[in-house]
Structure 1
């Protein structure tokens, strides 16, 4: 495949406005690229109307299997007048290709798709199989990855590479988890001249607020790469008008967890605090979660981590760093699959993800393809020898 053809595939992907939806349009296009190759096994798993996950498997049915994953959704472009280049245009200026998702993460998705296509086109022998896992809904909760995991598509992988925009000079082997939670306080609204007749929802919500900070602050253990547990209350609202006792108040908080503190431990503590406060007269608090994700543990010396560093050094001519990430990714869901495997994150990207005039360096995008095309057969061959 020519470099221009590879660029055009990425442009086409960017021109599909898959903003938190419409991933089926992306899946349609990707599936069409594999249609000429009967040896590629293509599956689709629908999450919701217009939202299809895509799974493509190539190689031999015996031997180890390496997963390559990327998400098909993008965040909204926001105020399009802030863009110099059309967010869904895929415009090329010099070495830069612009558009929503150019960095996060349609360049990574295109690179792993082209890797499989070139293996098929060239008849590349593989000592196992490689599976593309293209997901929906990563930006809003990783529920495509969750669905694929529950359906068994990530079972018994030998390793997983997620093409998120780490930059090719970094291999991410561990990542923080996420817990987003909401607490709703229900009271009784009355005229503020007679507060004794009502129940102040804000007052009761503040009981939780004042207690949860010290509770989470007790978790003082830190991870040498990721740091400590983070807890931030970021949204609070309540009340109807100045002369009424509020009947409703709520807060939302974001937590970034580390492997030392599994999410279930945090759930138990939050729920225990809620139960304790609800024993007080008039207190009615309700706790809910939004798409929580576990922290991703990892070993910097794992064979896949070290091989990825070695190959990135060779292909890109730099000293690739082995690092952790403060953000969650689909790997948190895939690691629930059957089997024990290493998950890493490495892919092309720039520091413009989620910003106006998001772009990717064409040079780095093409290097990413070379990186994946070198990594996949090398990893499968090494794993096959270990398993022999």
Structure 2
């Protein structure tokens, strides 16, 4: 029984970063991870397709008769943007001192690599486990958590007793609650005419502005504040419309982003938006169409849940810091997995820096290696807590 060397662990992360899975081609990442588990016949490896070149990966190890814990990481990364602005190649995994650079180094191939290595070491060292561990490696987290949605719909989270998401919280933070998100679009359809004869047309922008002016005050009535997450947020971030300066516009649209809190389930917001659209569409010549993009529920969470407290204690011990128990303003895959049949706690704790989605994204190699030790201690401790 051998333990993987630090250099071998670093090489796995470099290889993950060298696969350019920019909102696509996660299958290449899944294939690489699957190859790491190939020497172990006790590992059950499953690819779960979402779309062409976009396969989720599920790897299950341990005792099927005991409780199951999920270790989750997403395989996609955001676009690196202007590559010339980087001081290092974003897809090389280059190392300078303690920093390993690359797109996804923080968000979140370091977390993904750490949970994969954790499972590989359990297998290599034949660690006795009181239950099973399920790797849930997902596609499309950055653009809507649709890999996690697919796995949830297929039942891969129905047996979970707990879920650890290796998002880049930093090992000094355990995230137990998170905002939800609703992205919505309103399309206003009018009728074009010459601007010298506006009475022959229907101004789509005017009708869109009826919605715009009404929706803000409606959302502002949601004034309850979550003690950790804050208040519900509603922002109209994109507006477009019209064809040319001397034509009455036949089409206009807006897109808005909402960050929800547990006090206001998404259905409450849907009902209000749909009621407003129906009211305006009852007016003459108004035609508004509403659609949503991958909405996610807020994650309520319990700061005193055993998995939360264990994660704090173990990270404190291994890393020598005071781990904070916090909330997150962003949605994560947990929002989808919590739709599963099982009742379980979902947390985020993972290696990360404040460079996610930025130029010269990097991860501290020390923190990456510490993350493996945190997960290796946390999984057995969680099983023990269920005795």
Corresponding residue for residue 236 of structure 2: 233
Identify the match of residue 6 of structure 2 among 3, 19, 27: 3
Identify the match of residue 324 of structure 2 among 321, 324, 333: 321
| 2:171 corresponds to 1:168 | yes
Question: 1 CA distance for matches of 2:60 and 2:45?
Answer: 7
Following superposition, the deviation at residue 339 of structure 1 comes to 1.4
Q: Would the aligned equivalents of 2:306 and 2:385 in 1 still touch at CA under 8 Å? A: no
The superposition leaves residues 186-209 of structure 1 with CA deviations (integer Å, 9 ceiling, x where unpaired) of: 000000111111100000000000
Identify the match of residue 27 of structure 2 among 24, 27, 50: 24
Question: 1 CA distance for matches of 2:109 and 2:202?
Answer: 51
Corresponding residue for residue 253 of structure 1: 256
Secondary structure at the aligned position of 2:107 is classed as coil
Corresponding residue for residue 309 of structure 1: 312
Corresponding residue for residue 204 of structure 1: 207
Question: 2 CA distance for matches of 1:136 and 1:242?
Answer: 43
Following superposition, the deviation at residue 156 of structure 1 comes to 2.4
Corresponding residue for residue 113 of structure 2: 110
Q: Which runs of 5+ in 2 are unaligned?
A: none
Secondary structure at the aligned position of 1:52 is classed as strand
Identify the match of residue 293 of structure 1 among 284, 293, 296: 296
Question: 2 CA distance for matches of 1:181 and 1:282?
Answer: 22
Deviant stretches of 4+, over 2 Å: none
Secondary structure at the aligned position of 2:57 is classed as strand
| 2:61 corresponds to 1:45 | no
Identify the match of residue 198 of structure 2 among 178, 189, 195: 195
Q: Which runs of 5+ in 1 are unaligned?
A: none
CA RMSD for the aligned pairs? Answer: 0.5
Q: Would the aligned equivalents of 1:126 and 1:381 in 2 still touch at CA under 8 Å? A: no
Following superposition, the deviation at residue 381 of structure 1 comes to 1.8
Question: 2 CA distance for matches of 1:239 and 1:31?
Answer: 50
Map of 1:180-191 to 2, 5 A cutoff? 180-191=183-194
- The alignment of Structure 1 onto Structure 2 pairs a total of residues equal to 384
Secondary structure at the aligned position of 2:181 is classed as strand
Corresponding residue for residue 156 of structure 2: 153
Corresponding residue for residue 369 of structure 1: 372
Following superposition, the deviation at residue 221 of structure 1 comes to 0.6
Question: 1 CA distance for matches of 2:246 and 2:101?
Answer: 52
Secondary structure at the aligned position of 2:133 is classed as strand
